[in-house]
Structure 1
């Protein structure tokens, strides 16, 4: 197989949660550019429809689906729609996520539960529903989006959200365990752990976002001296989504500009 063929996703179908905005949108478009048809899912159907238009402009097929990853019935219905429309789902990207910044001593239980329900339970429910389909077809690629801050404690001046760091650490363990359980069925489960990327949730130029104040401080500490950009993510995504990673499962690929190596 040639190098180009290793990364070619032509004829495959990818399902991206949180695909209507931020890094989810970036990944949905990257998968389409690599040849995949894409199911774009999030709670906000209208933004998903806008991404579908962008994908169709690339010459690929796409479908927008309203999805609440914390609701089992919504997950099952979304997967059924995707399979009914395209016949198969070979690639799943779990990008839905939420974050609240509150000191640990003050964090309301509702915030804690919301982050775990969306970031962990939502990821599990999607893996479960799509995983059954993939196991039946004896093939699938699952990419869970965790975070580099899920590995260890984080200075509160950078990110003050114990619920978020806890949830992302859990996503990594979920990834490894499912990889062990499902590898024999031809289902690969890996995770991308981004550092701080410039998105709607993380934009130092927009007041009220997670790193509005801390962005310049964080960038100065990153060995490559900048925050992550869209293109920094897509190569890793396409590796895990394609035949290029057919001997790789249960792995966490950190994209943090070297910050975690310090």
Structure 2
């Protein structure tokens, strides 16, 4: 039987790949045989990761890019196509969060979150989809969040809520329009996972205690527990699945 999850030779682009979930996904895809282009603002970290990926027997390309700046994105995609000639899978993972209620957060901070989390997906997709249409094939995976469909009583994350809610519906809109070109668009909604973004806030003992009390599994996610959903959406196993967001959250959004 054909291995539906085999990604050998596929070209996967991952944004926000200098830390956290992006690093983990890059390694997961390399282990499945995919060649990986990694994108982030912190190029020195990307260089280190690229060498790790190549030790797994795949090709890798590190590209410095701020996904909220169109010229950066345009040049980054051009560099990737120059090396790999095509893009099979785009993982829009770059994201930032900001604590604050709507009556506290500054306009500048609001724009920073929306520009990275939402505008970044728009810009990356804008330039990658053109190549996918030419090839009549593509897999786009957007990193959403449980915060896109629920609020947080103890830690206000209003800009983040707004951005991730929009990501979920943008995923549906893109999916319905791009299906005829052989392109699927799906989302992954993580619950609480440790990252640079969460370690100093949501992983504080008092906040973690509340999360664990509410989450049916009683714990945050572990490294690697997002890999399966991402590989599924990127592979032939999900060929008839589009417009969906899977919440990998220990049951958090089921209560």
Which residue, 183, 198, 201 being the options, matches 2:197? 201
Within 5 A, what are the aligned runs for 1:13-24?
A: 13-24=11-22
Count of equivalent residues: 254
Paired residue for 2:62? 64
- Indicate yes or no: 2:239 matched with 1:241: no
Distance 1:90 1:197 in 2: 27
Deviates more, 1:146-155 or 1:25-34: 146-155
Paired residue for 1:133? 131
Retained in 2: the 8 A contact 1:101–1:210? Answer: no
Q: CA RMSD in A?
A: 1.0
Paired residue for 1:190? 186
Deviation at 1:143, TM superposition (A): 0.3
Partner deviation per Cα, 1:115-159 (whole Å, 9 max, x = no partner): 11110001111111101110111000000000011013321x1x3
Partner deviation per Cα, 1:42-67 (whole Å, 9 max, x = no partner): 00001111110110111111000001
Retained in 2: the 8 A contact 1:104–1:162? Answer: yes
Paired residue for 2:25? 27
Poorly superposed stretches of 4+, deviation over 2 Å: 208-211
Paired residue for 1:220? 213
Deviation at 1:104, TM superposition (A): 2.1
Retained in 2: the 8 A contact 1:15–1:40? Answer: yes
Deviation at 1:232, TM superposition (A): 1.2
Which residue, 44, 52, 55 being the options, matches 2:53? 55
Gaps in structure 2 of 5+ consecutive residues: none
Paired residue for 2:83? 85
- Indicate yes or no: 2:248 matched with 1:260: no
Retained in 2: the 8 A contact 1:200–1:209? Answer: no
Distance 1:82 1:186 in 2: 21
SS at match of 1:101: coil
Distance 2:223 2:235 in 1: 19
Which residue, 156, 159, 169 being the options, matches 1:163? 159
Retained in 2: the 8 A contact 1:20–1:48? Answer: yes
Retained in 1: the 8 A contact 2:150–2:253? Answer: no
Distance 1:200 1:33 in 2: 24
- Indicate yes or no: 2:224 matched with 1:231: yes
Q: TM-score, normalised by structure 1?
A: 0.94
Distance 2:209 2:231 in 1: 29
SS at match of 2:226: helix
Gaps in structure 1 of 5+ consecutive residues: none
Within 5 A, what are the aligned runs for 1:92-103?
A: 92-103=90-101
